[in-house]
Chain A
C-alpha cells in the first residue's frame, strides 16, 4: 500500500489576463507521495471537472524536466523547494502530511498571466529573435576538425546551453530581471568560435531587447542561480556584463 498524505493547496486562480486573481483553497486527501507535483494537480483538476468546475490551467509538456514548459512558484520557491529540479520532477514525497502549499504563477510585468498559473513568456522569444542565433552560410556541413574548440570552452558553452528558457530566474529574482536567461544565451555563443563574428552586436541587441521588454535590473542577489532547474551559473551574467561593456565602449 503506497504511503499517502493530505495537503491544503492555495492556488492562484485568475480567469484571464484582465480579471483580478485570488488564491483559492483546495483540500486534497490521499495523495500518493510517489506522485509528481503535476500529477497531483491532474488529480485536483479531475475532481474539479467532475464537479463541473473550471480546472486549474498550468503549463506542461514533456514532464521529464527538459522542455521548460512547466513552472510555478510553490511556497515562494520557483519550481518548488527542490534544488535544480523542474516542477514536473518535484514529487509529493518532498511534502509532509498537513502541509499548506501555496501555488502562484511567475510574477513579472514582462510575463503577463494568461490564465491561472499560465504566463506569456514570448518576451524570451523576442530576446532570442533579437540576436540569439548565428548567421551561418547554408550548404554542406564543414569538416568538424576545421574549427577547433578548447575543451574548457566547449564545457562552459554546454553548461550555458542547458538553459531551457523556463523563466524561473525571472520568477525568483526580487527585481524580475532576466539577466540569467539572457546571459546564458549570450554565453553559449560567446564561448564558441562560431559565435565570434556577431559577438558584440549580439550582446548589444539582446540586452536592448531585454530592457525594452520591461524586465527589472540585476542587483546580484543570485536568487536566479538558486532557483534555476539547470544550475546555470551567475558567472554567465559576469561574462555578459564584460562583453556588454566592451561592445558598448568600442566600435566594431
Chain B
C-alpha cells in the first residue's frame, strides 16, 4: 500500500504518531493485564472471579479485543514501513559507529524486542487465552481450579518459565524506550518534566518486567517449599 506524496499518511511524522498512539493503547492494556495477573497472589478464588468478570463483559470485551488487534496491526505495519525506510536512508554503514545517548541498548533493539514479543504473544494466546480451562491441565491437588490451575501447572515447567521471563523482559525493554518516545513524538517536551519522563519510562519498563516475572517465580518457589 502506498499513500499519496504529501498526504498525512505518507508523512514520516504522522506515521510515527500513529505508531505512538497504538503503542499507548497497548501500554494501557499491558498495565491492566499485569494488575489483573498479580491477583494470582490472592489465591484461586479471587483470580478465577476476575477471569470470569472479564469473560462476562460480553460485547465490551470484543470491542476491546478488536481495538487491540487493530492497534497491534497498525503498530506493526507502520513500524515495518518506517524501519525499511530507515535502513534505506543509510545503505553504506559506518566502519566505526559509537552511539553516545542514554538507554542505547533498548533504543537500538526496539525492532528485535518488538518481533520477539509478537512471537511471544502468539505463544501466550495459545497457552492461556485459547486453552481449555476445565480439563486435566487445570487440576491442582485433586481440585479443578480452572484458569488458576492452568496457569499454575504451566509455570511448573522451568523452560516455560524461562521463555516467559525473557519475553516479559523484552516487553520491559521495549517500554523503557517506548513510553518516553510516545511523549516526544506526540509533541510534549518540557525542561522540567522531560528528564523525569525519561526516568519514569525506564522505571515503568522495569516494573512491567519484574511484575510479570514475579508470577512464574512465585509458582516455582511456592511449589518447591510448601507445595500447592
Contact = CB atoms under 8 A, between A and B. Distances in A.
Interface of A: 10, 12, 23, 73, 75-77, 102, 104, 107-110, 174-177, 204, 207-208, 210-212, 214-223, 225-227, 234-235, 237-245, 248-249
B131 interface: no
A211 B93 CA distance: 20
A241 B184 contact: yes
B92 A175 contact: no
Interface string B172-209: 00000100110011111111001000000000000000
Given A102-B95, A217-B85, A245-B187, A222 B14 contact: no
A103 B91 CA distance: 18
B89 A177 contact: yes
Contacts of A73: 94, 96-97
Contacts of A219: 16, 82, 86, 107, 110, 181
A218 B12 contact: yes
Given A174-B99, A219-B181, A235-B194, A248 B11 contact: yes
A214 B88 contact: yes
Contacts of B194: 235
Interface stretch (B2-10, B66-74, B136-144, B151-159): B2-10
14 contacts: A109-B90, A109-B91, A175-B89, A204-B6, A208-B5, A208-B6, A211-B12, A220-B180, A221-B104, A222-B102, A223-B99, A241-B186, A243-B187, A244-B13
Contacts of B190: 235
B57 interface: no
A177 B83 CA distance: 12
B38 interface: no
A174 B188 contact: no
Nearest to A224: B101
Interface residues of B, number: 45
Task: Give the interface centre of B89, B96, B100 by most chain A CB atoms within 10 Å.
Answer: B89
Given A174-B108, A245-B13, A220 B187 contact: no
Contacts of B102: 222
Contacts of B86: 174-177, 216-217, 219
Instruction: In the A-B complex, list the 10 residue pairs whose CB atoms are closest, starting with the nearest.
Output: A242-B187, A76-B98, A238-B189, A216-B89, A175-B86, A241-B187, A176-B89, A76-B96, A216-B86, A235-B189
B187 A238 contact: yes
A132 B102 CA distance: 31
A50 B195 CA distance: 53
B17 interface: yes
B144 to A, nearest CB: 48
A183 B210 CA distance: 37
A204 B17 CA distance: 15
A53 to B, nearest CB: 22
B92 to A, nearest CB: 5
Contacts of A240: 13
Interface string B74-88: 000000001001101
A220 B185 contact: yes
A220 B191 contact: no
Task: Give the interface centre of A108, A212, A218, A241 by most chain B CB atoms within 10 Å.
Answer: A241
Nearest to A101: B96
B90 to A, nearest CB: 4
Given A175-B89, A219-B107, A102 B96 contact: yes
A18 to B, nearest CB: 13
Contact of A245 (B5, B104, B186): B186
